Amino acid sequence: MKKTAIIFLIAAAAVFALTCFPCEASYAAEGKVLPPENVSLVCDGTDYYVIWEAGYNEGFVITINGANETLPKDCDRYLLPDCAAGKTYAVKIKTVAPDGREDSDFSEEKIFVIPLKLSSPENIAVSDEKILTFDAVNGALSYKVVINGVKIADGTTETSIDLAPFLKSSGGYLIKVMAQGDNEHVLDGKFSSLYYENEPELTSPANLSVCEIDGEVIVSWDSVPYATGYEITVNGNTQKTELNQADITDKVLVADDYNIKVCAVSDAGFKSSGYSEITYSKRVELSAPLLLASETGNRITWEKEEGASLYAVTLTFMGKIIDERAEYSDTFYDLTDALTENGAGEYVLSVAALSNGNYDYSDTAYYTHKEFCKLAAPEITLSGTTVSWNAVENAADYKICVDGRVVESNLGATSFDFSDYIAESKTYLISVSCNANGWYLASDAAETEYKNTVKLGTPDLTADNAVVSWTEVLGATSYDVTVDGKFYVNTAETSLNLGEALTGGKDYVIGVRAKADGYETGDEKTIVVRIENNAVDTLKYSTALLGNEDKHAAIIYVDGAKTGYKFDSDGYLVLPSDVKTIIIVLSSEYMAEKVANANETGGVVELYAEINLEESTYNANSDSFELKLILCEFVSWEIVADDGADEADFITVDGINYYYHKKTGGYMPFL
C-alpha cells in the first residue's frame, strides 16, 4: 500500500447534524463517528481519572487544558497528571474513526476541579465556663457540632460555642465537631471527638476562723455537704485535710500578714468550690537579714526588719577580716573598694540585727561573693610558621588552636611552631588564649592569619592535529593556554580545538599551565603542533527564506547520507564543490509551526526537499549560490493512496518520517 502527505486548500467549512444509527458503530449523518459520551471525573484512592463510554473506535484524542494526547483503541479512562486540590482541568475528547471513516467532533468541553478534602478540627477543648473552642480548618465553609448524638449546631462559622445551655446535668458528654464544605469542590472532613465530664460545684466553706491554742495555730470552718476533703492555702503554700480544721503552725512562723484560703473538694463527681479567705497576723522575734546582691554583685542589700535599727557587719577576704562595723545603720554594703584593693578571691559578708528594746538579737546572715578576674588576652606576633606572645600575668599555661582545632591545650611556653598542623593551600586562623587558673578565668583568644600557598602541578600534553588535550591537574580549576608564547584563552576544559587560531602548513608551540584560587600557578608545559594545509575546494550556498537561527538547526543530507554540515552564524552553508544534491530537514517544531500557520491563513510553505545544487543561482553581492526550493500551497496534510509516494522510501529525523514524493522530486514530512 502506498501513502503520501497531500496538501489541500479548504475554501469554506460546513456544519452537519449528527445522527445515531442502530448498528455496531454509530456515525453522524455525514459519516463521522460520534464523540465519546458521559465524560466524567472519578476518584480512585488518591488518583483522579476522566472516564467515558467508548463506542466503536480506533482510538481517541483527549485535550487537557489545550494539550492533545492520542489514546489507544477501546481506551475508556485517562489518569489526570499532577492532581492537587483546587486544580482545574478543561477536558474534551474526540473519537478516532475506524474503517476509513471521518473522526468525530470533540465532545463538549467539561471543566473538572479536584475537590479539597477537609481536615478534622484540632485542639478541641471546653473551658471551665463551658465554652467549646477548636482550631479553624483551612478551607472549611462551616462546622457541625453534635453532643451525645444530638446536633446542636449545623452550618455555623464560629469556632467558639457556649455549651452551657446544653450541659445542665452532671455526667459525661461526648462532643463531636466536623468541618463542612460545599460537597462539590470542598468535601466534609471527619469528626473530631472530646469527652467532657460535667461536675456540679460545691459550696464554699463558711465561718472560716483562726485561733492559737497551746502555741499551735488552728484554722477551722463549717463542713460542706458532699465534700470529701479540703485544700488550705497559706500565702501560696497548700496542704490538704479530710477534717474541717487544720494545724498551720509551720506555715506562719515569720511575723507577717498571712492570707489563708480554704476550698472544698470532692472525688465523687463534684467540682471544687470557690475559696473562702481570711487574713491572720503574727509577730515573732527579729529574723536574720535576707542579704541580696545587685545585678553587678558588688552591692549587697537587705530589708530593715520591724524593730531593727542597727546592724553588726563584718567582711572577710580569704578568711581574714578586712572590715568590721559594730553599729551599722545602712541596709546595704558596697564591695567595690574591697574588690579593687584585694582582687580575685572569696569575700564573706556577715550581717546581724542588733537587739532593740523588746526585739532580741537576730541570727547572723551571710553572703559569699566569689570574685573571678578574666585574664588579659596575649599579644601575638607571627614569624613564618611560629607564633609568639607575651607572658600574661597570672596565666599558668596557654591553648593553641589552628582553624578552631586545639593543637596544644596546656602549653607552658610563649611560642609555638604550627607547621606540622597545616597542609592545604589556604589561609589558616591561628589563635592563642590563656587557660583558666584558679580565681582567674580564661582570656579571650588572640588571633592571626597564616596563608599557606601550594604550587599546582604540571599537565601532560598530547595533540591530534589542531586538538590539544592535557591531563587534569589535582586542585586546578582552569588552565591558561598560550600559542607561540602569547596568551590565547583560559578554560576549565582539558582539551581545546585550536583550528580557528592556527593556519595550515606551520608549526606552533602550544603551552598549558594550571590555575586555581588559593594556589600558586603551576609551571607551563608545552607541545609543538603542526597544522597541515587542507586544499578541499568548497562553494558557499544561502537562502533568504529562513532566519539564521532556523537554518542553524537544520540537518543536512549530502548525496543521500546524513552529515554534520550546518549553516553558519551568517546564514551560509559551505559544502565541497563536488556535492551534487542535498536535502535540508528542519526540526519537527519548525515544520509544525509552518503547517499550523498555513492551515489558518492558507498560502505557501517552503519544503526543503531534494535540491539539485547545479540549479542554484549565483549571487554576486553575497558571493554565494541561492538554493532553489519547492513551494507548495496547502492548508492541511493528508495520506492518500496514489502513485505519488513510496512508503518504503523515507528518512526519519527528530521522530518525523520524511517520505520521497515523486511528483515534486523531494522529501516531504508526514505530520
Provide the percentage of residues in the chain whose pLDDT is more than 70. 79
Question: Of 10-19, 146-155, 516-525, 612-621, where does mean pLDDT reach its minimum?
Answer: 10-19
Q: How many CA atoms lie within 13 A of 381 on its CB side?
A: 6
Q: Residue type at 303?
A: E
For 298, 302, 320, 323, the CA distances from 337, given in Å and listed in that order, are 9, 20, 16, 11
Question: Of 110-119, 235-244, 520-529, 598-607, where does mean pLDDT reach its minimum?
Answer: 598-607
Between CA 158 and CA 82 the distance in angstroms is 34
Query: Is residue 400 pLDDT above 90, yes or no?
Result: yes
Q: Using 50, 70 and 90 to split pLDDT, how confident is the model at 533?
A: low
Return the pLDDT at 124: 96
Mean pLDDT within 45-51: 88
Question: Of 43-52, 63-72, 380-389, where does mean pLDDT reach its minimum?
Answer: 43-52
- Which residue did the predictor score with more confidence, 26 or 315? 315
Q: Using 50, 70 and 90 to split pLDDT, how confident is the model at 397?
A: very high
**464: Cβ contacts below 8 Å, ≥ 6 apart:** none
Return the pLDDT at 22: 34
Mean pLDDT across the chain: 80
Between CA 230 and CA 511 the distance in angstroms is 98
Question: Of 73-77, 257-261, 551-555, where does mean pLDDT reach its minimum?
Answer: 551-555
Query: Is residue 15 pLDDT above 50, yes or no?
Result: no
- Which residue did the predictor score with more confidence, 339 or 169? 339
Return the pLDDT at 145: 95
Mean pLDDT within 38-59: 89
Query: Is residue 483 pLDDT above 80, yes or no?
Result: yes
Query: Is residue 155 pLDDT above 60, yes or no?
Result: yes
Between CA 154 and CA 599 the distance in angstroms is 58
C-alpha cell at 75: 481506551
Between CA 396 and CA 470 the distance in angstroms is 57
Phi and psi, residue 163, nearest 5°: -100, 0
Between CA 232 and CA 228 the distance in angstroms is 14
Query: Is residue 586 pLDDT above 70, yes or no?
Result: no
Between CA 294 and CA 299 the distance in angstroms is 5
Q: Using 50, 70 and 90 to split pLDDT, how confident is the model at 565?
A: confident
Query: Is residue 243 pLDDT above 50, yes or no?
Result: yes
Mean pLDDT within 78-105: 88
Between CA 369 and CA 74 the distance in angstroms is 92
> Could you write out the DSSP letters of every residue in 60-114?
EEEEETTEEEEE-TT--EEEPSS--TT-EEEEEEEEPPSTTPBPPPPPPPEEEEP
Return the pLDDT at 466: 80
> Could you write out the DSSP letters of every residue in 295-335?
TTSSEEE-PPPTT---EEEEEEETTEEEEEEEEE--SEEE-
- Which residue did the predictor score with more confidence, 454 or 4? 454
Return the pLDDT at 650: 52
Mean pLDDT within 67-77: 93
Return the pLDDT at 414: 93
Residues pairing with 489 in the sheet: 481
Query: Is residue 92 pLDDT above 80, yes or no?
Result: yes
Mean pLDDT within 357-376: 81
Between CA 92 and CA 497 the distance in angstroms is 54
Q: Residue type at 420?
A: D
Furthest CA-CA distance within the chain: 137
Query: Is residue 606 pLDDT above 60, yes or no?
Result: no
Phi and psi, residue 419, nearest 5°: -60, -30
3-state secondary structure of 203: coil
Return the pLDDT at 514: 93
Mean pLDDT within 590-601: 56
Question: Of 24-38, 173-187, 313-327, 418-432, where does mean pLDDT reach its minimum?
Answer: 24-38
Query: Is residue 159 pLDDT above 90, yes or no?
Result: yes
Return the pLDDT at 390: 94
**63: Cβ contacts below 8 Å, ≥ 6 apart:** 69, 90, 91, 92, 93, 106, 109
For 164, 170, 177, 524, the CA distances from 161, given in Å and listed in that order, are 9, 19, 11, 83
Q: Residue type at 639?
A: I
Reported pTM: 0.34
Nearest 10 degrees: Cα torsion 268, 269, 274, 280: 20
Query: Is residue 511 pLDDT above 90, yes or no?
Result: yes
Start-to-end CA distance of the chain, whole Å, equals 19
State pLDDT tens for residues 454-471.
888 999 999 887 889 999
Between CA 294 and CA 530 the distance in angstroms is 88
Question: b/e per residue, 227-237, with b = 16+ CB within 10 A?
Answer: beebbbbbeee
- What size, in residues, is the chain? 671
Return the pLDDT at 307: 74
Between CA 324 and CA 340 the distance in angstroms is 18
State pLDDT tens for residues 165-202.
898 777 889 999 999 998 878 888 899 999 988 877 88
Return the pLDDT at 363: 85
> Could you write out the DSSP letters of every residue in 253-288?
-SSEEEEEEEEEE-SSS-BPPPPEEEEEEE--SPPP
Q: Residue type at 656?
A: I
Q: Minimal CA–CA distance to 460: which of 523, 370, 530?
A: 523
Between CA 495 and CA 479 the distance in angstroms is 10
The owner of cell 562553494 is 539
Return the pLDDT at 16: 26
The answer for 550, left when phi > 0, alpha when psi is -120 to 50, beta otherwise, is: alpha
For the chain, the C-alpha Rg in angstroms (whole number) is 49
Query: Is residue 660 pLDDT above 70, yes or no?
Result: no
- Which residue did the predictor score with more confidence, 417 or 668? 417
